[in-house]
Amino acid sequence: MADAEHPQIYLITPPEFALSGFTQSLARVLDTVEVACLRLALSTANEDDVLRAGDALREVAHARDVPLVIERHVQMAERLGLDGVHLTDGARSVREARKALGADAIVGSFCGASRHDGMGAGEAGADYVAFGPVEAGALGDGRAAEHELFAWWSEMIEVPVVAEGGLTPDAVAALSPVADFLGIGQEIWGADDPAQALQSLVARI
């Protein structure tokens, strides 16, 4: 479990990217800022695209000793030799994913703003639980994972917690004492220099 005073960076890819350019940008980010885990979070349902991206990102991440998990695709995690899977349906698929990937794989679960779903995922064997977004908006059901949820979780539950979605510099500063990981993705990839953008956010931890 991370030092709650100094959360680690959990880096999330964009949902779409041009592979050649993105691998170079990713390598620069990983060489600039210490990253605990990388998530391949493609929105595409094209199997070949996912395979190519998984292969390329695995080489970049593993060369730097950064574990790579894939969002949703349990079978792809095994096929590509990745380190695990990030589930998006709360506790529902955790046991099945654990059974498929084994005890050593990373199995994480996104639980929105639901404490109940988070506890269920933890009890089912998730290695971490992610809550977000941290600010309310029009996406999803419009609910935000508030600071109180992270504060309660970090005090009461041993399963590591990830804060993700809408991590402004102020949110990073506020959540750093109560989150084990900060899930950062879209916050940096639209910048001219993603590595510098991530450095600026890390400076607020």
Beta carbons of 183 and 151 less than 8 angstroms apart: no
**Site of tokens 């395979």:** 51
Q: How far apart are CA 193 and CA 81, in angstroms?
A: 30
Q: What is the pLDDT along the chain (205 residues), one digit of tens a residue?
A: 344 468 999 999 999 999 989 999 999 999 999 999 999 999 998 999 999 999 999 999 999 999 999 999 999 999 999 999 999 999 999 999 999 999 999 999 999 999 999 999 999 999 999 999 998 775 566 789 999 999 999 999 999 999 999 999 999 999 999 999 999 999 999 999 999 999 999 999 9
In the chain, the domains with their CATH numbers are: 8-202 (3.20.20.70)
| DSSP per-residue string spanning 4-19 | TTSPEEEEE--SS--H
pLDDT value at residue 80:
97
Report d(CA 76, CA 113) in Å as an integer. Answer: 27
Q: What pLDDT does 6 receive?
A: 86
> 7-37 burial, b for 16+ CB within 10 Å, e for fewer?
bbbbbbbbeebeeeebbebbbebbeebebbb
Q: Estimate the share of the chain in helix, then strand, then coil, as percent rounded to the nearest 5.
A: 40, 15, 40
pLDDT at 1: 34
Beta bridge partners of 131: 163
What pLDDT is recorded for position 2?
A: 42
- Identify whether 133 is preceded by a cis peptide bond (ω within 30 of 0): yes
Rounded CA-CA distance 22/25 in Å is: 5
